[in-house]
């Protein structure tokens, strides 16, 4: 398994699959019981750490379904994995969801609601960002606005006449509701009654598939059949399943999250594979046509239609001590509970408001369809539509996140009189492996010139796959950068690359007199600002004497081109925040350059990524950006011809 820097997770398999992620329980190897004291990873620590050691950002979807106990376990797990006592082991946690939807199962209060005697990681560490764009009902604005009002409706409040009128347009007689449309109820008892009634009305030949019960012998380890089914509890695999062609079912276990075979996946039975032994007929496989045609690719069978997914019996420990149950992880699904549909989107649904017993339950059911037209309501009772007022109070007092200082490039003031050029340097620690991260970064994509060090490229076959639309790519790999330092040239890594917007018509300068051992590339622009931009990488093992000789010849060569300003930026592996002499910085300053960066640029709070400029009056803004996938944070500067024209040049004074 690859080592992710961004980990996508959710509490349920359905939500995890929707974001191409993992369930929290599976990826963090959480125990079934989350009650303190904390149960560490034990012998699994090295295995989990190998997979998750690089994680910098944890995204948890459907956060309303996460309990305080579960969040505490996530916090403790990452402390153990990272060997760090900071909250969540020092990683960034992005929790996404809507607390007005259903809370965690059981008696747990929502994360955002404070509770005496319970570890409160939420209010201590999280702040609020409100998203305003509606996606599920984006094509039905009237319905979206109605749902927004229902979402926060207090129990004591009456519906407005307008909202009541809109909802009553959806009220229908149960007899008029199509049986093939999913019915959503409050309780499992209602669901079971509806499923049984639908099966009876279909007149389909039914096969009762009973669970197989076993007990393992202590001495031999052999599985001994118990013959009859021992009734467990509702969390066990079903005692028996009614299987028949055309029967709607739902998978009840997370069989393969990545393949979409998760608890809550719906489908229709279209094939039943049986086996006869001593005149006993047993069901071996059940073939489903899943609603999601992309799911279940690992469960297709040769010789069968490509769109069929074959499910076999699943084995797990029963709630009855010592009993192992084998059964198909399926249940009837002409209807299901509101808890089961949270996170789902559908074109049509029938929602019963009868016996809705919890705040947010009616809202979850009513908000599953993409339009008002697709919604049918039975057992209409507006008193069942209400929100948890504790959540409203918590949201009102929660700290708001501020973005006023987090996107300096985005917020840079523009003017018709001001021509600007945005230049960024980033030690990317491998362009191939971080190409997508870099390409989708919210600020790196704003660069006019994006200068990269440690590109880790070799040869030229990579160029086609690394092209970015609208940019020219210039690269100089480590192995061609040294003529007399084989000790560096033959090492993996290193290398520099530059992306420059094609519209700027950049020119590359590849060779300079007396520069024989230096990882660099140089881009010349004549418009909108005349400038030379040079990217340089100094490996940590490169001695200062040899490097200084080459960098001095390099600077002399840049000045000989007679273009100002000259910008030299890169990773120089000289920490400007540590005490002592700074040979590289002193050399640049002796040549008339100014270093622009003053904040740490790495995780260890060192400043080794520098930007040197020959005419500092051209620079109107500079600083350090944030990223999640590299040890280094990017550094940037913004040049302006307007600023240079308005300020006297140091060379003219």
Provide the domain limits for residue 161: 138-182+346-386
Residues 430 and 492 in one domain: yes
Same domain, yes or no: 170 and 225: no
Same domain (yes/no): 23, 112: yes
Per-residue pLDDT at 404 = 60
153 and 290 both lie in a single domain: no
478 lies in some domain: yes
Per-residue pLDDT reduced to its tens digit, 121-168: 999 899 999 988 888 898 999 999 999 999 999 999 999 999 999 999
Residues 125 and 155 both lie in one domain: no
pLDDT in tens, 94-112: 999 999 998 887 767 899 9
Residue 307 lies in a domain: yes
Q: How do 335-337 and 183-185 pair as beta strands?
A: parallel
From the list 543, 23, 254, the residue with the least C-alpha distance to 551 is 543
- At 614 the pLDDT is 96
Residue 37 belongs to a domain: yes
Mark whether 195 and 161 lie in a shared domain: no
Q: pTM of the predicted model, to two decimals?
A: 0.68
> Is 562 found in the same domain as 579?
yes
- Where among 314, 336, 358 does a domain terminate? 336
pLDDT for residue 412: 60
The number of domains in the chain is: 4
| Residue 17 to residues 21, 58, 636, Cα–Cα distance (Å) | 6, 16, 37
List, for the chain, all residue ranges whose pLDDT scores fall below the cut of 70: 1-4, 107, 403-418, 460-462, 642-653
pLDDT of residue 413: 59
The DSSP annotation for 443-475 comes to TGGG-SEEEEE-----SSTTGGGG--TTEEEEE
Angle at 363 between CA 358 and CA 364, to 5 degrees: 90
Is 406 part of any domain?
no
Please give the pLDDT value at position 73: 96
Q: Do 96 and 234 share a domain, yes or no?
A: no
Local structure of 46: helix, strand or coil: helix
Q: Are residues 203 and 330 in the same domain?
A: yes
In this structure, are 269 and 288 located in the same domain?
Answer: yes
Does 394 reside within a domain? no
609 Cβ neighbours under 8 A, 6+ residues apart: 425, 427, 569, 570, 571, 572, 597, 601, 602, 632, 633, 634, 635
Could you tell me if 215 and 322 lie in one domain? yes
Q: Are residues 109 and 158 in the same domain?
A: no
User: How far apart, in whole angstroms, are the C-alpha atoms of residue 457 and residue 465?
Assistant: 12
The domain boundary residue, chosen from 98, 116, 131? 131
């Amino acid at each position: 398994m690859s080592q992710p820097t961004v980990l996508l997770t959710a509490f349920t398999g359905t939500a995890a699959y929707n974001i191409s992620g993992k369930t929290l329980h599976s990826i963090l190897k959480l125990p079934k019981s989350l009650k303190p004291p904390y149960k560490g990873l034990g012998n699994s620590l090295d295995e989990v750490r190998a997979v998750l050691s690089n994680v910098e950002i944890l995204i948890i979807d459907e956060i309303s379904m996460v309990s305080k106990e579960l969040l505490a376990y996530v916090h403790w797990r990452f402390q153990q994995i990272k060997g760090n006592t900071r909250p969540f082991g020092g990683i960034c946690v992005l929790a996404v969801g809507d607390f007005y939807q259903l809370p965690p199962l059981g008696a747990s209060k929502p994360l955002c609601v404070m509770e005496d005697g319970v570890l409160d990681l939420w209010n201590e560490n999280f702040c609020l960002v409100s998203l305003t764009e509606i996606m599920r009902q984006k094509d039905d604005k009237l319905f979206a606005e109605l749902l927004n009002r229902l979402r926060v409706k207090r129990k004591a409040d009456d519906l407005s006449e307008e909202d009541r009128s809109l909802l009553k347009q959806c009220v229908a007689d149960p007899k008029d509701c199509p049986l093939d449309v999913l019915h959503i109820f409050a309780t499992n008892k209602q669901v079971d009654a509806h499923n049984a009634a639908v099966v009876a009305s279909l007149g389909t030949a039914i096969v009762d598939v009973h669970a197989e019960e076993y007990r393992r012998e202590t001495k031999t380890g052999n599985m001994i059949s118990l013959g009859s089914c021992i009734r467990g509890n509702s969390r066990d695999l079903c005692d028996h399943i009614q299987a028949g062609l055309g029967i709607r079912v739902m998978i009840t276990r997370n069989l393969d999250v990545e393949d979409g075979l998760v608890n809550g996946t719906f489908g229709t039975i279209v094939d039943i594979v049986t086996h006869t032994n001593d005149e006993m007929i047993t069901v071996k496989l059940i073939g489903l046509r899943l609603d999601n045609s992309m799911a279940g690719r690992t469960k297709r069978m040769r010789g069968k239609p490509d769109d069929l997914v074959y499910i076999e019996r699943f084995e797990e420990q029963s709630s009855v001590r010592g009993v192992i149950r084998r059964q198909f992880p399926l249940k009837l699904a002409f209807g299901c509970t509101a808890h089961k549909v949270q996170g789902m989107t559908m074109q049509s649904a029938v929602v019963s408001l009868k016996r809705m017993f919890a705040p947010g339950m009616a809202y979850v059911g009513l908000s599953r369809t993409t339009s008002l037209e697709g919604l049918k309501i039975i057992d209409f009772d507006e008193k069942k539509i209400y929100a948890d007022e504790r959540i409203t109070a918590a949201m009102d007092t929660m700290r708001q996140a501020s973005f006023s200082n987090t996107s300096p490039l985005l917020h840079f003031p523009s003017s018709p009189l001001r021509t600007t050029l945005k230049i960024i340097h980033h030690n990317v620690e491998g362009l191939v492996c971080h190409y997508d991260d870099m390409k989708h970064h919210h600020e790196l994509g704003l660069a006019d010139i994006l200068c990269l060090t440690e590109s880790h490229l070799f040869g030229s076959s990579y160029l086609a796959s690394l092209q970015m639309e609208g940019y020219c790519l210039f690269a100089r790999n480590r192995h061609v950068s040294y003529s007399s330092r084989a000790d560096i040239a033959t090492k993996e890594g290193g290398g520099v690359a530059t992306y420059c917007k094609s519209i700027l018509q950049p020119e590359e300068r590849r060779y300079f007199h007396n520069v024989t051992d230096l990882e660099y590339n140089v881009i010349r622009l004549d418009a909108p600002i005349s400038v030379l931009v040079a990217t340089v990488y100094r490996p940590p093992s490169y001695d200062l004497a040899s490097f200084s000789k080459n960098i001095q010849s390099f600077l002399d060569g840049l000045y000989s081109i007679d273009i100002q300003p000259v910008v030299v930026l890169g990773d120089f592996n000289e920490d400007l925040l540590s005490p002592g002499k700074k040979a590289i910085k002193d050399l640049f300053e002796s040549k008339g350059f100014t270093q622009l960066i003053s904040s740490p640029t790495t995780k260890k709070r060192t400043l080794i990524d520098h930007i040197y400029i020959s005419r500092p009056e051209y620079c109107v803004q500079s600083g350090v950006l944030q990223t999640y996938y590299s040890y280094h944070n990017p550094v940037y500067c913004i040049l302006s011809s307007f600023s240079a024209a308005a300020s006297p040049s140091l060379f003219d004074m």
